[in-house]
Structure 1
Amino acid sequence: MQANNTMTTCTDEVARRAYWAEQMQLGYELVQQILPFEVAECGEGFASLRDAAETAGIEMLFSDTKIAGELDRVFFMRESLVQAVMDVGRDMNQRGWILKIEDGYRSLEMQGSLVRKPELFDSILKKCIWEIGGEIPSAEFVFRRAIVLIANIPKIGTHMSGSAIDVSVFRRDEGSEVWRGRPYLEMSEQTPMRSPFVDEDSLRNRLEITAMLEARGFVHFPFEFWHFNQGDALGNILSGRAAPARFGPVHWDPRTNRVTPVDDPLSPLNPLPVIEREIASALQRATDRVVVV
């Protein structure tokens, strides 16, 4: 019996590793489609999701955690998309759910810091080591994975376009989360929307939440069960629209509500030398944890 259990565990591990590698490669291929996709930035300003929900009388939650270090999350997005989010929130309230906005717009500085955030970078590196059988991966390999998991190039990071939200959902009656198999910001083979490694109830919840957002024009990023966007290069590609995207990565001035397109949207926020340094730091943190234990 012990031998059979061991064999089953090994088989499951192989399947999980193969699925993870396949999904990361598909994500990287999608990124390659985004990079050359035409963007005709419309210059639309931003509006507050929190203010819109309060004005409309929609019950909506907002994350109270910091995004990277001590940076506050910015619950703003493009003005024309705010109403779509309100419609989703109202739909969910009528269903007995509450939409929680985990994240909205991110500046380039916020996104670059998020890639380097120790908890997230350590998770990415750990998965890379697991994927290749325990070896220390090259900086190029980690760079490719980080592009999919936490956008490291402005053009592909729809939060930097003000056209994306990360969401969770809770029940209005007793406050429990509508469980999707793992918590927000999971980094594993359970992260892709249709992962076969989540239970049927969790998958059904993911797809029902997705259907409600897609009914209001959003698309889901296939490799994260919490991310939804529209009007940007990724959104146009996933919805089969060949027209140039309206929204690209921008610098936003909250005082004037003016947006300025990013000068070099294809330049990595954290180039390879930075990734190399972060790998060394992550390995040192892992060693320090072992020594402490």
Structure 2
Amino acid sequence: MMIPQHLRLPPLQTPTCPSHHFPSSAFAMTDSDSTARRSYWTEQLELGYQLVRQIERWPVQECLEPFASLPLAAAEAGIEMLFSDSKIAGGLDRIHWIRRSLVPDVLAIASAMLSRGWILKIEDSYRSLEMQTRLGSKPEIFDAILQKCIWENGGTVPGPDVLFRRGCVLVANVPKVGTHMSGTAIDISVFRRSDGTEVWRGNPYLEMSERTPMRSPFVEPEFTANRLAITELMEAQGFMHFPFEFWHYNKGDALGHILSHIPGPAAFGPVHWDAASNTVTAVPQADQPLRPLPEIQREIDAAIARLKA
């Protein structure tokens, strides 16, 4: 789903940190269409930031619905699924739990995929605020976003406000915006049951480039077709795709209401989850950033040191 034209922001003025400059060739695309790629990256991340601001303004009336385990539900239903068991960041385990009422929808999606010979893999589900904060600071992710911003900015390191703006789209830095923190989002991959190969979408999970948006024109047509075929099955159960990441789907939160054109407050917002009691409490001050600008500047400095090493 594309963001309406009337939501466009004025062009971003890109302040820079003059003490750091990298040769443009270090970040240039080898393709002759590098200018088009840069323009598309900037346009899409700006549209994404507009959507972020819209999510921030959307009303939420948290219903405090508890969570349910996706692996347990799939096992009990006899539905074959896969779940990532890699560490998310800093040694933290992934938590494959989401809001209880959304679990049947995910099982229905997995069942529909099995009928096509596919297996749904859940890459990520609920994230605590700590998990989200650590993920945004994870060097592999932060450095990739920073390098794209340097490339976008002609080889000059941008200021922390630009990294904040870009990062808000790719790894949410505000609890209300990050639907994983609401227990309403899943990141997915899909595999063929016959031979275990991935239904390829042009890039692996967690690509950070101009190929990341769902309908990127820089993705080969056959892989875009795979993205859209998967999305059709997801959205048939109300899990809407985030236009700027080809792996992310969510339902029932502020973003879900916006993408589904559902008026009124969303029932799900960011929550703290107590696993022992399976109870949730609404996150206070959910519009405040997890990593403020001074912290992002420190992360930029550390990333520059890594790049120069």
Answering whether residue 290 of structure 2 is matched by residue 269 of structure 1, we say yes
Match of 1:17 in 2: 38
Q: Which residue among 86, 90, 110 is the counterpart of 1:89? A: 110
Answering whether residue 270 of structure 2 is matched by residue 249 of structure 1, we say yes
Alignment-mate amino acid for residue 189 of structure 1: E
Runs of 4+ residues deviating >6 angstroms: none
Answering whether residue 80 of structure 2 is matched by residue 59 of structure 1, we say yes
Alignment partners' CA distance in 2, 1:94 and 1:127? 39
Answering whether residue 197 of structure 2 is matched by residue 176 of structure 1, we say yes
Match of 1:222 in 2: 243
Answering whether residue 137 of structure 2 is matched by residue 116 of structure 1, we say yes
Match of 1:106 in 2: 127
Answering whether residue 54 of structure 2 is matched by residue 33 of structure 1, we say yes
Alignment partners' CA distance in 2, 1:275 and 1:61? 34
Which protein is richer in helix relative to its size? 1
Alignment partners' CA distance in 2, 1:11 and 1:59? 44
Alignment-mate amino acid for residue 196 of structure 1: P
Match of 1:235 in 2: 256
Residue deviations 1:27-81 (CA, integer Å, cap 9, x gap): 0000111101100101100000000110111110011211002000000000000
Residue deviations 1:106-149 (CA, integer Å, cap 9, x gap): 00000001000010000010000001110010011111000001
Match of 1:5 in 2: none
Alignment partners' CA distance in 2, 1:27 and 1:137? 18
* Displacement of 1:10: 6.1
> Within 5 A, what are the aligned runs for 1:117-156?
117-156=138-177
Alignment-mate amino acid for residue 68 of structure 2: A
Change beyond 3 A, Cα 1:201–1:280:
same
> Within 5 A, what are the aligned runs for 1:70-85?
70-85=91-106
Change beyond 3 A, Cα 1:145–1:241:
same
Answering whether residue 304 of structure 2 is matched by residue 283 of structure 1, we say yes
Alignment partners' CA distance in 2, 1:10 and 1:223? 22
Match of 2:226 in 1: 205
Alignment-mate amino acid for residue 95 of structure 1: R
Alignment partners' CA distance in 2, 1:195 and 1:214? 19
Match of 1:291 in 2: none
Alignment partners' CA distance in 2, 1:10 and 1:253? 49
How many residues get paired? 281
> Identity over aligned residues, as a percent?
62
Match of 1:158 in 2: 179
Alignment partners' CA distance in 2, 1:20 and 1:132? 11
Change beyond 3 A, Cα 1:9–1:115:
closer
Match of 2:18 in 1: none
Alignment partners' CA distance in 2, 1:106 and 1:256? 17
- What residue ranges of structure 1 are gaps of 5+ in the alignment? 1-7, 289-293
Alignment-mate amino acid for residue 281 of structure 2: T
Match of 1:4 in 2: none
Alignment partners' CA distance in 2, 1:206 and 1:102? 16
TM-score of the two chains, using structure 2 as the length reference: 0.90
Residue deviations 1:151-209 (CA, integer Å, cap 9, x gap): 00000000000000000000000000000000000000000000001111100000000
Q: Report the secondary structure of 1:154's partner residue.
A: coil
